[in-house]
Chain A
Amino acid sequence: MKKVYLLIALFICIISYANNDKYRLILNSDPATTMMIAWNQISGSNPTVYYDTVDHGNSDHTQYSFSKTVDRSTTYKGMENQFANLTGLTPDTNYYFIINDSQGNSQRFWFRTAPSDLSRLSFIAGGDSRNNRTPRQAANLLVSKLKAHAVIFGGDMTSGSTDTEWQNWMDDWQLTTASNGRMFPIIPARGNHENTNNIYNLFNTTSNSDAYYALTFGNDLFRIYTLNSEISVSGNQLTWLENDIVANSSVLWKSAQYHKPMRPHYSGKSEGIDRYNAWAQLFYDNGVRLVMESDTHTVKTTWPVEPSSGVGNDQGFIRNDLNGTTYVGEGCWGAPTRAADDGKDWTRNMGQFNQFKLIFVSETEIEVRTINVDNAASVGENSDNDPFTLPSNLNVWSPSNGDVVTILPASLPTKPVIEFVAGTRTNYSNGTNLTFNIDVLDAGDGVTKVDFYIDGALTSTDILSPYSFTNSFADGNYVIEAIATDNSGGVSLTSQIIINIGDYTSNKFATIITGNDDIEERQDQSVYFDSSDLELIYDGSTNGYQKIGLRFQNVNIPQGATISNAYIQFMADGDWGNADAEYNIYIENTNNAETFENNSSSNLTGRDYVGSTINWAPPSWTDDDITSNQQTPDLTSLLQNIVNLNTWQQGNNTVFKIEAAGASQTDINAKRRAESFEGNYAPRLYYSYSFNAIAPVIEFNSNTEISYIDGSNITLDVDVLDSGAGITKVDFYVNGTLSSSDTSAPYSFTNAYSDGSYLIEAIATDSNGVTGNTLIYISVGSFIVNDTNIIIEGKDDIEELENKSVYFDSSDLELIYDSQNGNGFQKIGLRFQNLNIPPGATISNAYIQFMADGDWDATNSGAKYEIFIENSDNTMPFGNNPVANLSGRSYIGASVIWSPQEWNDDDIAGDQQTPNLSVLLQDIIDLNNWKQGNSTVFKIEGANASLTNVNAKRRAESFEGNYAPRLYYTYSYNAVLNTDDVLSVGISIYPNPTKNILNIVSYQDKIFTVDVYDVRGRNIRVLNFNEQDSYQFNMTSLDSGLYFLKFYTERGIFIEHIIKN
């Protein structure tokens, strides 16, 4: 009877477990959605994988929702290898599977697919598991405990690639399966102990024996290249690698594994020159930051390195911590070990023991640890959900340079950033001994020098901070450039300033400097940039009667200059004799013309032009001529319009448009053709002008107090920066009324003021009658102000469309949905200039008043808006570009919600007022550099229904319509709260803390210099006072924190500390 039971039990055993073993998971395509399951089918037929995201155990395969038959099978190395590739899986999900065949079910296994986002990843990487089975088994056991996303295996699994060895290897690989059945996929490479087809026939990687391939983990987070050092490295494999690396340049981290190292760390292994020649530079150039090598059976990690044959290289590499490649390795996942006896200058650490690498990859860094595998049996086990903990007793190698090799994102090479000190004057009556100072905004790797050029010629070099340059100039116009160089050889962009000296005339020209600046706008208003000619005007039946656009950059005419002559010079392309050719020439009405784009606002038709035109009927043209026949008439009147704009700055850009006139509009023969930039001659704008820079320049000294507790006796001085032709008097105006005149230097003005805010203007007049002025706002005592600020020009109220382009000229402001022109759910921008609120004021009330345009009633319910204020102490004008629109600006975090009542057409009442915006406005007034008279920007966006329901809206008039929106505000001011701290020795340092500028003023003792020390005691700057009483120290580029100022004064040496925010 017992025998029967035994037999039955045996029978049950046989049918309970299918006859397969040597299971392994392999990754050879997307790790998030696929998994290759492989095994050895001992007996039984039709094996099929049954899988699901739910664990159904292994008693009934039909419970599993999905199944996959075998894709490929190989009789190889004494095994019947089966491969089933699961696809269409969900990322970061557990999948449970069994293998069912004619004899029953295997045990239940499971795996987790890799994530498809930027979640942190864990890898185990090593190689060489031959000829030392004990540590091989130990390493495999550790795999089961560490729960990594995948195992990166660098080849040399067995020694002789015999059947027995492979079967033993596969059996030992079962140790990588955890006790709960979880399996971990392998990414195998071929070693020199694998024959051509071993990897392909046992792991089914790639579609042939080449065994090189790449996988990306996560959302372009980590791409691992598996390369084959046993086949040609400079042939097809290299071509594939070069193409693939470029095609995947957007991946955050790139890494590579292959068997034989470039520079083995064992003297008895020959150098991998062929691999170095093929891959080293490619890796470095393409940001492959981590490379795993094997073969040697030793341990090494390197510092990041860059291939180099230059001075200091060791075996063709030099250390480059910024963006070099880190090489780790070299094998021994269970192998006899070799001594690491061939270190290089760039070797980080070496050792000799059986190990693999534990690698954590996140968005911000890669960490590599070397794990000694010998004590695997006593190491703890990670939970399935946390592969990033180091389990107890894990033997992490702790060499001299630390346990963890950390790889950070590549640093860009340094570059200093400089500019001419803000506010450097451009006009000078006299050019004698003018000094120009440079601010270093970013020192890069430490500025070593600043070179100064005048009109392109190197004139001076300053090697000591602060960087400046002094020169004497004759009357005229000069382009001054500064370029800084740092310790690493990084070179700054050129900082440029154009100066005008005295009274001069100038003849210059601007030329088209890029192909995109001379365009043909076709009849259908599309833009053609690349023509090698400019057809004036008819350009074949496709392009039709077009328009020519010419954008001249760097037009070097100072604002307010008197232009005496201007014309555009062309080169004739062909012979043209038709006498009826006629054109009208326009100039764009802008202070700085933006680039041409192939869209309706940046082509020619979409721009705004000055009303007048110049008519041109050219004489006959002879091919290749560049004569007066190819010149336009005098364009002075057009150009003068632009140069006269207050906002014009010399060096800005201007656009001319040439259209057909007369017969040229209809007669295809009434035309000329000129060369273009892409052809043989880039058109030029020649101009002659005269400019008189002789003018007085005065300013209220920057350390003039602006807040006074007592207004009974206030004296204000002006400094003369330029006396022009000789200052005869300075008039002082208080709130627009002339109050006093001073005819002799020093020019000052004493007055008594009651409590309130005052605009003081000083106007200097020189002996030629030329004037120069300066303004200052002062606040006296304690007072309250109610005032209004109105939108003063059309460009200050805008609609930003859904596509982020800007529409300036609407006669209304749609809050928010605008059906016209595809504006969509837009945003409204309002810029208030000359905001007359002093720093230190307390805003008690502020709102924007609109006028209703149309009736808005219950059908428009749900209208809701969110109002923001731009985080800037002085806003720039709106522009139709990503920096100057609304979306490109940054805003204070707080916002105010507005849910307006119903509107009646033309109402200017409480319903058309925003809620109280004080909280927003106060944040701006409180900014360190807020000055009375600066400008601010409000943005109004839709909220809730106003973003989805086209009817949940209001519409207001705009500047171009019937009512310019205005900002009403009330503030109170108390001078007592706004006086500066004064040190006992009469030195004032303010503001402290500071975000950018630190003012240092001495009221008593002369300050010679101030040494600035950072918190580590390094002297980072020396401020030379050069006999001045004050210094403005620009701390913008410095790190936040504590700084010490060591004052050298005539009274002695003092230390003060300040905080930079």
Chain B
Amino acid sequence: MSRSKIVNLLKVATFLIFIGRAYQYIIYGAPFRALLWDEGLLQPIVEGFFNTSWNEYATSKKVDVCIENATLINGVFLAIAAFSALLINQKNKKYLKYFIYFGSFSLLILSALLMKDKFFHNAQFFEHAIQVVTPLVLLLVIDKKPDFLQISKVLKIIVAITFISHGLYALGYYPIPGNFVDMTILSLGISEDNAKIFLYVAGILDIILSILIFIPRVSKYALWYAFMWGTATALARITGYFNSDLIAMSLESSLYKTIYRIPHGLIPLVIYFIDFKFLPQKRNY
């Protein structure tokens, strides 16, 4: 396992995150309105500072178009960030890193907005850890002497945070989202009651593996499980929404969600390669 392979995997992971989200922002937008349309928060500002009635502001086509355009631009920059991730090397890093930072920051904002939009569930924010931090980790490895031990730790932490967050939803600590249950029912062909049991178990496992990946003796197995489960849940966005008669439609709506979630499986794989293929080599020198 060469260093460049690990770097490439991280590049691919970052690319997938950014390109999937770029597609989302450009085609479907982002939940900026969770903040910008919050009457409770912004009414004093809109009416006091901008001297416009809230209703006028909220139903203004101009404001709407502004938000749309800002989202579009954000999406374009995310696309640029995606390609930057593929192209980045030690030489161009000093320029391209700003796109990566921008992308990561965008996703941080997105995570905060999503949390606000969903009853301030903390997990809603933290489950995006892999997506927000992986690009920053990429920047870490584009270096003369990256510290892979450190990098592995960071990656483990973000994997644990992400999986615990999902696990809390799956086992019902937060109300199980309907689409989790539906994806399970439709991907596995089981009943709702069995799907909830399945998800409960999966949630428990998510939390367990988040601990086990830190324990050397068993981390290998935990990482493999995380790789498979992370990939499976990414693919579930397609299989759970599939309509065989309307393939194009199904893919168009779900493919991007799969794409930016593939790193949920890829990153555990990367950790595995670092811990069990790369670092042992290094020690052998």
Interface residues of A (CB under 8 A from B): 130-135, 159-162, 164-165, 195-196, 228-237, 239, 267-271, 273-274, 276-278, 309, 313, 315-316, 335-339, 352-354
List the one stretch of B77-85, B191-199, B202-210, B220-228 in contact with chain A.
Answer: B191-199
A and B contact pairs by CB, cutoff 8 A, 6 listed: A159-B38, A230-B178, A270-B28, A271-B253, A338-B64, A353-B59
Closest to A352 in B: B61
Find out whether the CB atom of B119 lies under 8 angstroms from the CB atom of A316: no
In the complex the two chains form, what is the Cα distance from A76 to B103 in whole Å?
40
Find out whether the CB atom of B240 lies under 8 angstroms from the CB atom of A271: no
B58: A residues at CB distance < 8 A: 131-132, 335-337
CB distance from B120 to the nearest CB of A (A): 8
In the complex the two chains form, what is the Cα distance from A707 to B68 in whole Å?
86
A315: B residues at CB distance < 8 A: 246, 249
User: Of the candidates A133, A165, A234, A269, which one forms a contact with B182 in the assembled complex, judged by CB atoms under 8 Å apart?
Assistant: A234
With A160-B119, A316-B245, A336-B58 known, 20 other A-B pairs at CB within 8 A are A135-B55, A135-B59, A159-B39, A159-B40, A160-B38, A195-B175, A231-B178, A231-B181, A235-B185, A235-B193, A271-B253, A273-B243, A274-B182, A276-B243, A277-B241, A316-B246, A336-B59, A337-B58, A339-B64, A354-B59
B179 at the interface (CB under 8 A from A): yes
Find out whether the CB atom of A161 lies under 8 angstroms from the CB atom of B119: yes
In the complex the two chains form, what is the Cα distance from A398 to B70 in whole Å?
33
A269: B residues at CB distance < 8 A: 28
Find out whether the CB atom of B38 lies under 8 angstroms from the CB atom of A236: no
Closest to B181 in A: A232
B5 at the interface (CB under 8 A from A): no
Closest to A194 in B: B119
Find out whether the CB atom of A234 lies under 8 angstroms from the CB atom of B186: yes
B218 at the interface (CB under 8 A from A): no
Find out whether the CB atom of B64 lies under 8 angstroms from the CB atom of A132: no
Find out whether the CB atom of B55 lies under 8 angstroms from the CB atom of A195: no
In the complex the two chains form, what is the Cα distance from A313 to B55 in whole Å?
38
- List B51-80 residues whose CB lies under 8 Å from chain A: 53-55, 57-59, 61, 64-65, 68, 71
User: Of the candidates A134, A159, A160, which one forms a contact with B55 in the assembled complex, judged by CB atoms under 8 Å apart?
Assistant: A134
In the complex the two chains form, what is the Cα distance from A130 to B29 in whole Å?
20
Given the known inter-chain contacts A231-B178, A235-B185, please indicate yes or no for A274 contacting B241, CB distance below 8 A.
yes
Find out whether the CB atom of A133 lies under 8 angstroms from the CB atom of B54: yes
Find out whether the CB atom of A274 lies under 8 angstroms from the CB atom of B179: yes
CB distance from B232 to the nearest CB of A (A): 18
In the complex the two chains form, what is the Cα distance from A172 to B36 in whole Å?
23
CB distance from A73 to the nearest CB of B (A): 23
Given the known inter-chain contacts A131-B38, A159-B39, please indicate yes or no for A232 contacting B192, CB distance below 8 A.
yes
Find out whether the CB atom of A229 lies under 8 angstroms from the CB atom of B243: no
B254 at the interface (CB under 8 A from A): yes
A352: B residues at CB distance < 8 A: 59, 61
Find out whether the CB atom of B185 lies under 8 angstroms from the CB atom of A232: yes
Given the known inter-chain contacts A235-B185, A236-B192, please indicate yes or no for A165 contacting B61, CB distance below 8 A.
no
Given the known inter-chain contacts A267-B27, A274-B179, please indicate yes or no for A234 contacting B185, CB distance below 8 A.
yes
A130: B residues at CB distance < 8 A: 39
- List B136-192 residues whose CB lies under 8 Å from chain A: 175, 177-179, 181-182, 185-186, 191-192
B33 at the interface (CB under 8 A from A): yes
Find out whether the CB atom of A316 lies under 8 angstroms from the CB atom of B243: yes
Given the known inter-chain contacts A273-B249, A273-B254, A309-B246, please indicate yes or no for A133 contacting B185, CB distance below 8 A.
no
A237: B residues at CB distance < 8 A: 192
In the complex the two chains form, what is the Cα distance from A159 to B61 in whole Å?
21
| Chain B interface, DSSP helix/strand/loop, else mixed | helix
CB distance from A300 to the nearest CB of B (A): 16
Find out whether the CB atom of B61 lies under 8 angstroms from the CB atom of A273: no
User: Of the candidates A134, A162, A231, A271, which one forms a contact with B53 in the assembled complex, judged by CB atoms under 8 Å apart?
Assistant: A134
Given the known inter-chain contacts A270-B253, A273-B250, please indicate yes or no for A133 contacting B243, CB distance below 8 A.
no
CB distance from B27 to the nearest CB of A (A): 7
CB distance from B22 to the nearest CB of A (A): 15
B181: A residues at CB distance < 8 A: 231-232, 235
Interface size class of B (residues with CB under 8 A): 35 or more
Given the known inter-chain contacts A195-B175, A335-B58, please indicate yes or no for A235 contacting B33, CB distance below 8 A.
no
Closest to A274 in B: B182
In the complex the two chains form, what is the Cα distance from A533 to B62 in whole Å?
81
Find out whether the CB atom of B175 lies under 8 angstroms from the CB atom of A131: no
In the complex the two chains form, what is the Cα distance from A195 to B118 in whole Å?
9
User: Of the candidates A131, A232, A267, A337, which one forms a contact with B64 in the assembled complex, judged by CB atoms under 8 Å apart?
Assistant: A337
Find out whether the CB atom of A233 lies under 8 angstroms from the CB atom of B28: no
A159: B residues at CB distance < 8 A: 37-40
Closest to B252 in A: A271
Find out whether the CB atom of A273 lies under 8 angstroms from the CB atom of B253: yes
Find out whether the CB atom of B193 lies under 8 angstroms from the CB atom of A236: yes
A267: B residues at CB distance < 8 A: 27-28
Closest to B192 in A: A235
CB distance from A554 to the nearest CB of B (A): 42
B55: A residues at CB distance < 8 A: 132, 134-135
A274: B residues at CB distance < 8 A: 179, 182, 186, 240-241
Given the known inter-chain contacts A268-B68, A337-B59, A352-B61, please indicate yes or no for A132 contacting B179, CB distance below 8 A.
no
CB distance from A289 to the nearest CB of B (A): 23
B191: A residues at CB distance < 8 A: 235-236
B177: A residues at CB distance < 8 A: 230
In the complex the two chains form, what is the Cα distance from A955 to B119 in whole Å?
85
A270: B residues at CB distance < 8 A: 28, 253
In the complex the two chains form, what is the Cα distance from A160 to B254 in whole Å?
27
In the complex the two chains form, what is the Cα distance from A905 to B57 in whole Å?
98
Find out whether the CB atom of A165 lies under 8 angstroms from the CB atom of B249: no
A165: B residues at CB distance < 8 A: 40
In the complex the two chains form, what is the Cα distance from A5 to B251 in whole Å?
76
Find out whether the CB atom of A131 lies under 8 angstroms from the CB atom of B39: yes
A316: B residues at CB distance < 8 A: 243, 245-246, 249
CB distance from B227 to the nearest CB of A (A): 27
Mask, B107-143, CB within 8 Å of A = 1, is: 0000000001001100000000000000000000000
Most buried by A among B38, B71, B177, B182: B182
CB distance from B250 to the nearest CB of A (A): 6
The 4 A-B pairs with the shortest beta carbon distances in the complex, nearest first, are: A235-B192, A309-B245, A336-B58, A268-B29
User: Of the candidates B33, B195, B241, which one forms a contact with A336 in the assembled complex, judged by CB atoms under 8 Å apart?
Assistant: B33
Closest to B34 in A: A159
CB distance from B29 to the nearest CB of A (A): 4
In the complex the two chains form, what is the Cα distance from A132 to B59 in whole Å?
9
CB distance from B35 to the nearest CB of A (A): 11
Closest to B33 in A: A336
In the complex the two chains form, what is the Cα distance from A162 to B40 in whole Å?
11
CB distance from B203 to the nearest CB of A (A): 16
Most buried by B among A159, A161, A235: A235
In the complex the two chains form, what is the Cα distance from A648 to B248 in whole Å?
63
Closest to A130 in B: B39
A353: B residues at CB distance < 8 A: 59
B240: A residues at CB distance < 8 A: 274
In the complex the two chains form, what is the Cα distance from A313 to B246 in whole Å?
10
Closest to A168 in B: B40
Find out whether the CB atom of B253 lies under 8 angstroms from the CB atom of A132: no
CB distance from B33 to the nearest CB of A (A): 7
Find out whether the CB atom of B182 lies under 8 angstroms from the CB atom of A131: no
